[in-house]
Amino acid sequence: MLMTDSVLAAIITATATVCVSLLQLRFSLGKDGGTRVQAASGRRKGRGPFAILFVIIIASAVGGFALSQWLTENERASQNILQHELQDKVDQITRTANQLELTRAGARAEIEAGVLRRFGSDGVVVMATVSPCRPALVVSPPGTATPPGVTGETTQPAAPVCTESEASAVTLCATIPANATITEVELYTRLAQSDTPWSTSRVLAGQESGQARFAEKYVESPEAPGTKQICQGFAQWSTEHARVARMVIRYGI
């Protein structure tokens, strides 16, 4: 640690003063020994060593103060260096933590994007079972005559029939990411109790199959932030069987 100019000057001055005082003390003691026979002059010269001793004490105090100042500055400088090193370590740890957080967020986003891409490639499947159509009951108005030659015992009621306008309807909806691009919409339908493979039960939008039909177009609408819905209508007017409707949405990101 380098000393300041003021501290260095004080130490040099104190050292020089102590050296000069020691030399003067030595010369004074030598002269004092040769002149002890003279009482009057001896008493006057006896005060000289005490004065020199006082100067030495003052010089020592100045040197000690200068040395303590130097040690204090050295300690303060060491503390400042240590504080700077600790602050650098804290800054480094903070930067590392921020980088790890960014890396973690990026890795998480990449994983989520990969999962969504896989879902889009495999397809989002939505299914629904539609019950048989229940036609409106037709009641003959009062006073209607029975046709000639037909009795009440031989008359058989006609089988109930539904028209497409009376069909049982359902809407199939799938939720996908808002930034997804639809690549394909696959539509399937079969009887509820059938074991027919889905691969052989595919139909086109708007195509009638077994008194059932999907809507000609799907409807796309926003849902929650970051997602949207793809909906396809389905209707079946068979009065004998329930039907299962299946929709597969494939998309890309």
The residue-averaged pLDDT of 216-232 equals 92
Residue 35 lies in a domain: yes
77 and 179 together in one domain: no
Residue 195 lies in a domain: yes
Band of residue 37 on the pLDDT scale cut at 50, 70, 90:
very low
Residue 243 lies in a domain: yes
Question: Amino acid letter at 246?
Answer: R
**C-alpha span between 215 and 206 (Å, rounded):** 5
**C-alpha span between 78 and 74 (Å, rounded):** 6
Burial class (CB in 10 A: 0-12, 13-18, 19+), 98: exposed
Residue 89 lies in a domain: yes
pLDDT in tens, 75-94: 888 888 888 888 888 888 88
**In 3D, which of 59, 51, 55 has the Cα closest to residue 28?**
51
79 and 129 together in one domain: no
Band of residue 232 on the pLDDT scale cut at 50, 70, 90:
very high
Band of residue 145 on the pLDDT scale cut at 50, 70, 90:
low
Residue 28 lies in a domain: yes
226 and 129 together in one domain: yes
37 and 79 together in one domain: yes
**C-alpha span between 193 and 187 (Å, rounded):** 18
Q: Which domain holds residue 63?
A: 5-103
92 and 172 together in one domain: no
Residue 180 in this model has a pLDDT that exceeds 70: yes
- CB neighbour list of residue 183: distance below 8 Å, 6 or more residues apart: 120, 250, 251, 252
| Domain total in the chain | 2
Q: Which CATH number fits the domain that encloses residue 194?
A: 2.60.40
11 and 95 together in one domain: yes
Lowest mean pLDDT segment, chosen from 105-114, 189-198, 234-243: 105-114
Can you tell me whether residue 87 is helix, strand or coil? Answer: helix
80 and 130 together in one domain: no
79, 20 in Cβ contact below 8 A?
no
**C-alpha span between 122 and 186 (Å, rounded):** 12
Residue 95 lies in a domain: yes
DSSP letter string over 192-246? Answer: TT----GGG-EE-TT-B-SSEEE-SS-EEEE-STTEEEEEEEEEE--SS--EEEE
Residue 146 lies in a domain: no
181 and 245 together in one domain: yes
225 and 130 together in one domain: yes
**C-alpha span between 78 and 232 (Å, rounded):** 76
86 and 188 together in one domain: no
248 and 128 together in one domain: yes
Residue 99 lies in a domain: yes
226 and 176 together in one domain: yes
CA 65 to chain centre: 58
